[in-house]
Amino acid sequence: MQASSAPYKRLRDPNASGGAYAVLKATVPGDFVAYTVPIAAAGTYDVKVGIQTRNDRGIFQLAIAGINQGTHQDEYSPTIGYEVRDLGTVIFTSGGNEAFQFVVTGHNSSSRGYTLAFDYIDLDLVP
């Protein structure tokens, strides 16, 4: 994690990949968490993120290097679970570190909050 605007912590869960996931205890739209993600080489990558759904989750938008990526993603579900969200492709012109910022844009009308939960970020090189 590079930065966050709200309390952030890692929680253990045997159902998460690697046995843990990260939670941003967001309270308002605009709260965010940013990760520094290493890009191995220039190319087009499919961006996927593993999330934990729950009844207090918010909606997020991913921005990479300040540019919105994919569509708004709702993490709300009446039950706890894990899902993978495909956020589309992005072109990186060189390798190195990139800022991936997940910004709270709102919450489902059935949700009890704005919390976001992330299991992993996956980048697949598109041939």
Q: What is the CATH number of the domain that holds 21?
A: 2.60.120.260
Q: What length does the chain have?
A: 127
pLDDT digits (tens, 9 = 90+) for 19-64: 999 999 999 999 999 999 999 999 999 999 999 999 999 999 999 9
Give the residue carrying structure tokens 């709102």. 106
Beta strands in 13-80 (DSSP E): 20-24, 32-39, 43-53, 59-64, 67-74
Q: Name residues whose C-beta falls within 8 Å of residue 109's C-beta, 6 or more positions apart in sequence.
A: none
Are the beta carbons of 24 and 56 closer than 8 angstroms? Answer: no
Secondary structure class of 17 (helix, strand, coil):
helix
H/E stretch holding 106: strand 96-106
pLDDT digits (tens, 9 = 90+) for 60-102: 999 998 899 989 999 999 999 999 999 999 999 999 999 999 9
Range of the domain at 45: 3-125
Count of structural domains within the chain = 1
